[in-house]
Amino acid sequence: MTTAVRGRPSKRRQILDAAAQVFVREGFAHASLDAIAAEAGVVKQTIYNHFEDKNALVTAVFQGALDPLSSEFSDVLAETLGASGDVRERLTAFGRRWIRLLFCEGPATLRSQMVAGARNSPELAAALLDADRGVVLREVAEHLARIPELRIPDLDRAARQLRGLLLGEAHQQSAFGQRELTGAEVADVVESGVDLFLRAYAEAGAHA
């Protein structure tokens, strides 16, 4: 469900920034609207002037966290899968940067809190699923289609599988997003994931 934007935009931005800080600090389940209001320097009613409830606020914070990632992710794709050269090297470079983007940089802690909170919030879970099935996987599929060394009958499924091999494993290794992965851990996740992906979809010799 999409919540209509109410109230002054400056106050809305103030509340979103404060909510993000509180969610990271206290976790989604324990963060209260009172704490968010105090962080934002507003009364709780001001939050309700902008957001229907806590779930609507959480969804807005998550969507805001994704926005700065979208252009950066497009750059990552263009500079790795969209580049020329050895297919394994391109997939490996892509995997490392994708994991760092989501698990080792600014939005990582916030994103992990959102994923954890989605277990008890159908609306947040739906927002996460929409984001996951949206532009990101379509762009990955489009780039995989342009790699001649790969033979992929179902591009959408292959994109989901690549995501699972990389991000799914990274999510497990990072204690479900609660700690930052080391460089060695990222390398291990990516190398094993890329190896399995190439075994499934690369022409003979491309994954040797």
| Dihedral sign for Cα atoms in the order 179, 188, 172, 151 | positive
CATH class of 1-52: mainly alpha
Residue 2's pLDDT band, with cuts at 50, 70 and 90, is very low
Fold of 67-201: Tetracycline Repressor; domain 2 (1.10.357)
Residue 1's pLDDT band, with cuts at 50, 70 and 90, is very low
Mean pLDDT of 109-114: 63
The residues spanned by each domain of the chain are 1-52, 67-201
Mean pLDDT of 157-173: 91
E strands present in 110-195: none
Residue 27's pLDDT band, with cuts at 50, 70 and 90, is confident
Q: What are phi and psi of 37, to 5 degrees?
A: -60, -40
Buried-exposed string 186-208: b where 16+ CB fall within 10 A, e elsewhere = beebbeebbbebbeebbeeebbe
pTM to 2 decimal places: 0.67
